Chain A
Amino acid sequence: MQKSLRKYFAVFVLPTLVAFVIAFLLPFLFGLYLSFTRFTTVTNTQWVGLENYIRAFTDNNDFLHALGITAAFTVVSACSVNLLAFGLALLLTRGLRGTNLFRTVFFMPNLIGGIVLGYIWQLIINGLLLRAGVDITYDPKYGFWGLVVLMNWQMIGYMMIIYIAGLQNLPGDVLEAAEIDGASPWQKLRRVTIPMVMPSITICTFLTLTNSFKLFDQNFALTAGAPMKKTAMLALDIYNTFYGRIGDEGVGQAKAVLFFLMVAVIAALQLRATRSREVEQ
């Protein structure tokens, strides 16, 4: 079977592979190369070594500031999304009437695209700030917390679904045994439920971490970095660098490589967390 199938590489793999090479592999390798060059068109490049990487930090403070904002946003939204989603999942696995309807409602915002979400929340936040006579571009605080609220609205339903799946797989007898032993509801949660849904917690934590870290559309639509690029996260800063000023494309590409390396570190941590858990079981 293996041998007779092998001849058909061109039929089974080639279509995907051609698309993969064009859309991903060549752009990736060429992007890596361009980050070490100065260029305005891709055919006219000049090797400059690490200059772009140095300029990413020294031209202005944008990249470091974006990194700070992104890190803060990622931590805050990952914590809040997971806490709220887990809480909702606990409430929705008690066999209440109407559970399906609630689940449907809480999940729905997740399907709406980032650009649309950004404008919905811009309307709301500007409306709330109206009384103070300002709008979302007045203070970076507003944009930051607006984005946190938006992210919660979008992601809670998604994470809740994964937590519900984890909670429904809990063996009922363990909880029953804990109850007979006289465990309080809080003890049952702390000592039984949470340890047993740890796989779901790991998945959801990393999903929210990477999604928050890579956020672009929502950031772009809600504030576009206003005021003064103070709410621009990494992905938006890279976009601004690429398409902001002619001659900075190399710097943008260098920032993108650094961004990729940071995402890769998060992915590596995820792999390790998942692996070590597998060993335990």
Chain B
Amino acid sequence: MKNKSKRWQSIFLPAFLTVLSIFFLAPIFLVLMNSFKGQFYISDAPFALPDSQTFVGLRNYWSGIQKVDFFSAFGYSVFITVFSVAAIVLFTAMTAWYLVRVGTRAANGFYYLFVFSMIVPFQMVMFTMSKMANLLHLDNPVGIVLLYLGFGSGLSVFLYSGFIKSIPRDVEEAAMIDGCHPLQIFFFVVFPMLKPTAITVAILNAMWIWNDYLLPYLVIGSRYRTIPIAVQYLQGGYGSRDMGALMATLILAIIPIVVFYLACQKYIIRGVMAGAVKG
């Protein structure tokens, strides 16, 4: 009995998990494999390895990069994600600290307003928000940062507030008595303590904003393409599209994510665990 369960534990289970891992990675390898095949050999035989007839080297990558102007799409995605996440991490922390510490009825009212926005699906505001963005000339990569700050503030204020409520206010009060300005207290005392939550907020928002399609498409999509918009742009009409360029662009879209994931895996996993409340 003991032996049997040991063998199960040491041989069958790892073997099973290995097979499962291969299945999990297979879709990405399939796309990678097809990205090296000529565009007319992909739809007809997607599971066939490239051979001397179908192999085209990096040609799909060149055509994909040219067709969607991939490097500028990458640039826009990086710009929008970095600045939106930075704005959200900083400004919602300030807001959450103020609302929790002031704690008046009005402050609580604002807090619940932010929390309320978490349950509103994007479709509810997508039309009016994009009209508003046009009206206020926010339809550019800088303006969209403001939209992300506004739309991402609900979850972030919620996460920060939960953490701030759990930290004692003694240190802050001591600093106040010593004559510190509230901004000094925030930046030198409070914000360093918020670091774990700040990482969670940054990870969750970065995952959302980097992959977001609809908001940037509706607001800036006609002039600026982020990576998801660039991928969708390649789709074109069904059947008439360049499958080779699409496969290559999918791989180019996945590479930055994999690199980021492998570099920050610890924080991502922790962020996901801590942010498991979002709905």
Contacts and interface: CB of A to CB of B under 8 A. Distances in A.
B123 A97 contact: no
Contact of A217 (B31, B45, B110, B213): B213
Contacts of B272: 107, 158, 161-162
A116 B256 CA distance: 13
B43 interface: yes
Contacts of B238: 137
Interface size bracket, B side: 35 or more
A259 B123 contact: yes
A206 B132 contact: no
Interface in B236-279: 238, 246-247, 250, 253-254, 257-258, 260-262, 265, 268-269, 272-273, 276-279
Given A28-B125, A207-B278, A23 B14 contact: no
B117 A260 contact: no
Contacts of A210: 279
Contact of B232 (A9, A15, A127, A221): A221
Contacts, number: 272
B99 A113 contact: no
B254 A112 contact: yes
Identify the interface centre among B91, B121, B123: most chain A CB within 10 Å of its CB. B123
B103 A105 contact: no
Nearest to A185: B5
Interface size bracket, A side: 35 or more
Contacts of B183: 8, 11
Nearest to B211: A113
A8 B104 CA distance: 14
A19 B146 contact: yes
B142 interface: no
Interface of B is mostly: helix
Contacts of B104: 6
Interface string A5-20: 1101101110111111
Given A19-B146, A23-B149, A31-B124, A13 B27 contact: no
Interface stretch (B57-65, B169-177, B192-200): B169-177
B124 A161 contact: no
A23 B146 contact: yes
Given A26-B132, A161-B269, A253-B127, A2 B149 contact: no
Identify the interface centre among A2, A119, A216: most chain B CB within 10 Å of its CB. A119
B153 A19 contact: yes
B24 A105 contact: yes
Interface in A139-182: 153, 158, 161-162, 165
17 contacts: A1-B176, A5-B182, A11-B94, A12-B182, A19-B153, A20-B153, A23-B146, A30-B128, A42-B128, A102-B21, A113-B210, A115-B228, A116-B250, A120-B27, A161-B273, A249-B127, A259-B121
Given A5-B101, A23-B147, A24-B120, 14 more contacts: A6-B104, A11-B183, A13-B95, A15-B94, A19-B153, A27-B132, A116-B228, A123-B34, A123-B247, A127-B46, A210-B279, A253-B128, A256-B126, A266-B279
Q: Which 3 A-B pairs have the closest CB atoms?
A: A23-B150, A113-B211, A19-B150
Interface of A: 1-2, 4-6, 8-9, 11-13, 15-28, 30-31, 34, 42, 88, 91-92, 94, 96-98, 101-109, 111-116, 119-121, 123-124, 126-127, 130, 137, 153, 158, 161-162, 165, 203-204, 206-207, 210, 214, 216-217, 220-221, 234-235, 238-239, 242, 249, 252-253, 256-257, 259-260, 263-264, 266-267, 270
